[in-house]
Amino acid sequence: MTSPRRTFAIISHPDAGKTTLTEKLLYVGGAIHLAGEVKARGQNRRARSDWMKIEQQRGISVTSSVMTFEKDGVTFNLLDTPGHEDFSEDTYRTLTAVDSAVMVIDAARGIEAQTRKLFEVCRLRNVPIITFVNKVDREGRDPFELLDEVAEMLQLDVCPMSWPVGMGGEFEGVYDLYANTLARPEGGSREFMGAPVAFTGLADPALADTLSPEGLARLRDEAELAQGGYSTFDAEAYRGGDLTPVYFGSALKDFGIAELIGALADYAPPPRAQPAEPAAVAPEGKEVTGFIFKVQANMDPQHRDRIAFMRLCSGTFKRGMKLTPTGHGKPIAVHSPILFFAQDREIADEAFPGDIIGIPNHGTLRVGDTLSEKADVRFTGLPNFAPEILRRVVLKDPTKTKQLRKALDDMAEEGVTQVFYPEIGSNWIIGVVGQLQLDVLLSRLDAEYKVAAALEPAPFDTARWISAGDAGDLKSFTDINRSAMARDRDDNPVFLAKSAWEVGYVADRYPKVKFAATRER
Ligand code: GDP
């Protein structure tokens, strides 16, 4: 019997507490010995790699990783999403590989821009959300106001699972509305020490021995209002993406961590069937299948290998197994798959649906690839997003054209940037969804490929993948608009436009041509 899997991500706005919460989850899961190690390890790793200096300078994490931990017989795979505001497609794609998400919001700030964008991606894919309202040990906004904000902004039913007894200076603990337990701040650090006190309910007179009279009165009033005013917990509604259970806590002071892990274990969905052609793939399927949602270079600067991150969708993967990328390439034998335990990379002998495997390769595996034993399925729904920033790449040393092409192709393959080769003219154009990706590109060109290049404004502002039911319609469109036509890395035709308005204008004039802002790989 394999243990149940919970494959999830944490979505949040920078500074809401994702890193702190991650450390605490790993700590409780026994994956690290001391909370704080995640960041320390991160810093060591950064020091080893040049382009990661950007992360350091900006104090952000550009790379995503996978952390696996176990608790009470459940295996948790936590996929990290970059938390900076300037997110990339990487973040989106990571969310295609999870079955659920934890949304962390800062009690003083509520729903912020980045949280909201990431939430929308989750909604697109029906990824159910558990909400964690963090930092209740500090002054925060009124809990009712926060719940209403989640309900209104995200159009979700909310169900408070716990309730803070005051916040900031008046903070006296967090009451679990379902288990009827109170987690109290203790000692000089006012932390939760891991021993909740049980009560028979909110009416239990013993509560008066633990809470101040004001705190108790407040808890009883507020909890009654909260339980009456919001939805009761409904696991089906949660899994359907219609309801979010809300936990109040403090990652820093350990409040709500055990409850959150418990909620993931008890309610979060196990690995789900994944959309694919010719038919969706259920995790119970015998054939080993999976898809690549991320490719990362430079994890080990000693070896210029890449790691392709595959989410296993069905079957029992065994080390040495041969898997074939659908659509291109020969079978590859996966001799040294990697599982990402928080401590170290470990060589995996076996993996199960919901697990993430790192597959070292030299550029054969690409984001969006399906791998399977028989090469008879293809997972769908891993999108490429229309870039929001386009730049012309200008080479300082014209003899380095080949290196530049290789670098741009490599990075397109990793999903760092997109590259477009115009039909007319020799300057290649790169596209990104966030400014930060431009810095990553330049610094990697320099450090890894020894190519000095500059980025100049491109005469275009956006790009659309075009297609038409009839090849003749497509050809007449591309002939007339040749100066705005380019090919992406996979040779798909792309229309480059000066503005979104222009796209609309042109689309109106060519009703038979489809203009897509995303392209499935
Ligand atoms: P991230 O950017 O979302 O990863 O946020 P971090 O985990 O790095 O936290 C941002 C800041 O908030 C850090 O200074 C943390 O120490 C602090 N922080 C995180 N959680 C809490 C909390 O529960 N209470 C308080 N008071 N501070 C917190």
Fold of 276-379: Rossmann fold (3.40.50)
> What is the rounded distance in angstroms from the CA atom of residue 76 to the CA atom of residue 271?
11
Specify the residue for token string 């403090």. Answer: 250
**Nearest C-alpha neighbor of 477 from the set 488, 461, 465, 460:** 465
Tell whether ligand 1 has an atom less than 6 A from the beta carbon of residue 137.
yes
In this structure, the number of other CB atoms found within 10 A of the CB of residue 347 comes to 10
Tell whether ligand 1 has an atom less than 6 A from the beta carbon of residue 109.
no
End-to-end CA distance of the chain: 35
**Is 256 assigned a ligand-binding role in the annotation?**
no
DSSP one-letter code for 169: G
Q: How does pLDDT run along the chain (521 residues), one tens digit per residue?
A: 578 999 999 999 989 999 899 888 888 776 543 333 344 444 433 323 333 444 444 333 334 468 888 888 898 999 987 655 555 667 778 888 999 999 999 999 999 988 888 898 888 788 999 999 999 999 999 999 999 999 999 999 999 999 999 999 999 999 999 999 999 999 988 999 888 999 999 999 999 999 999 999 999 999 999 999 999 999 999 999 999 999 999 999 999 999 999 999 999 999 999 989 899 999 999 999 999 988 877 555 555 667 888 999 999 999 889 999 987 778 888 887 776 654 445 566 789 999 998 888 877 888 888 999 998 898 987 666 677 789 999 998 888 999 999 999 888 877 778 899 999 887 899 988 777 778 888 888 888 889 999 999 998 988 999 999 999 999 999 999 999 999 998 889 999 998 888 888 999 999 999 998 777 65
DSSP assignment string, 253-300: TTBTHHHHHHHHHHTSPPSPPB-EESSPBPTT-SS-EEEEEEEEE-SS
**Is 210 assigned a ligand-binding role in the annotation?**
no
Tell whether ligand 1 has an atom less than 6 A from the beta carbon of residue 415.
no
- ipTM above 0.85? yes
Fold of 5-267: Rossmann fold (3.40.50)
CB-based contact 437:88 (threshold 8 Å) = yes
Predicted local distance difference test score (pLDDT) of residue 67: 82
> What is the rounded distance in angstroms from the CA atom of residue 67 to the CA atom of residue 316?
20
Tell whether ligand 1 has an atom less than 6 A from the beta carbon of residue 83.
yes
Candidate of 13, 15, 55 to mutate for ligand 1, largest count of ligand atoms within 8 Å of Cβ = 15
Please give the distance, rounded to the nearest whole angstrom, from the Cα atom of residue 20 to the centre of ligand 1.
6
- Start and end residues for every CATH 3.40.50.300 domain found in the chain: 5-267, 276-379
Predicted local distance difference test score (pLDDT) of residue 46: 31
Candidate of 252, 255, 259, 260 to mutate for ligand 1, largest count of ligand atoms within 8 Å of Cβ = 252
DSSP assignment string, 118-135: HHHHHHHTT--EEEEEE-
CB-based contact 310:77 (threshold 8 Å) = no
**Is 19 assigned a ligand-binding role in the annotation?**
yes
Predicted local distance difference test score (pLDDT) of residue 521: 56
Tell whether ligand 1 has an atom less than 6 A from the beta carbon of residue 164.
no
**Is 82 assigned a ligand-binding role in the annotation?**
yes
**Residue of the CA atom closest to atom 18 of ligand 1:** 17
**Do the strands 429-432 and 129-134 form a parallel or antiparallel pair, or are they unpaired?**
unpaired
> What is the rounded distance in angstroms from the CA atom of residue 512 to the CA atom of residue 493?
15
Candidate of 20, 91, 247 to mutate for ligand 1, largest count of ligand atoms within 8 Å of Cβ = 20
Predicted local distance difference test score (pLDDT) of residue 415: 73
Q: Name the CATH superfamily housing domain 383-520.
A: Peptide chain release factor 3, domain III (3.30.70.3280)
Please give the distance, rounded to the nearest whole angstrom, from the Cα atom of residue 18 to the centre of ligand 1.
7
Tell whether ligand 1 has an atom less than 6 A from the beta carbon of residue 91.
no
Residues near 71 by Cβ (< 8 Å), separated by ≥ 6? 28, 29, 30, 261, 265
**Nearest C-alpha neighbor of 4 from the set 373, 317, 283, 340:** 283
Helices and strands in the chain, H and E counts: 14, 35
Please give the distance, rounded to the nearest whole angstrom, from the Cα atom of residue 132 to the centre of ligand 1.
13
**Residue of the CA atom closest to atom 14 of ligand 1:** 15
Predicted local distance difference test score (pLDDT) of residue 43: 41
Tell whether ligand 1 has an atom less than 6 A from the beta carbon of residue 15.
yes
Predicted local distance difference test score (pLDDT) of residue 82: 65
**Nearest C-alpha neighbor of 103 from the set 227, 16, 11:** 11
- For residue 404, the Cα-to-chain-centroid distance in whole angstroms is 29
- Start and end residues for every CATH 3.30.70.3280 domain found in the chain: 383-520
**Nearest C-alpha neighbor of 431 from the set 453, 447, 408, 410:** 408
Predicted local distance difference test score (pLDDT) of residue 85: 53
CB-based contact 423:486 (threshold 8 Å) = yes
- Ligand 1 atom index nearest CA of 253: 23
Compute the 3-state secondary structure of the chain and give helix, strand, coil in percent, each to the nearest 5: 30, 30, 40
**Is 275 assigned a ligand-binding role in the annotation?**
no
> What is the rounded distance in angstroms from the CA atom of residue 448 to the CA atom of residue 124?
36
Predicted local distance difference test score (pLDDT) of residue 439: 82
Long-range contacts, stretch 182-186, CB < 8 angstroms, 24+ apart:
182/207, 182/210, 182/211, 183/255, 183/256, 184/210, 185/137, 185/253, 185/255
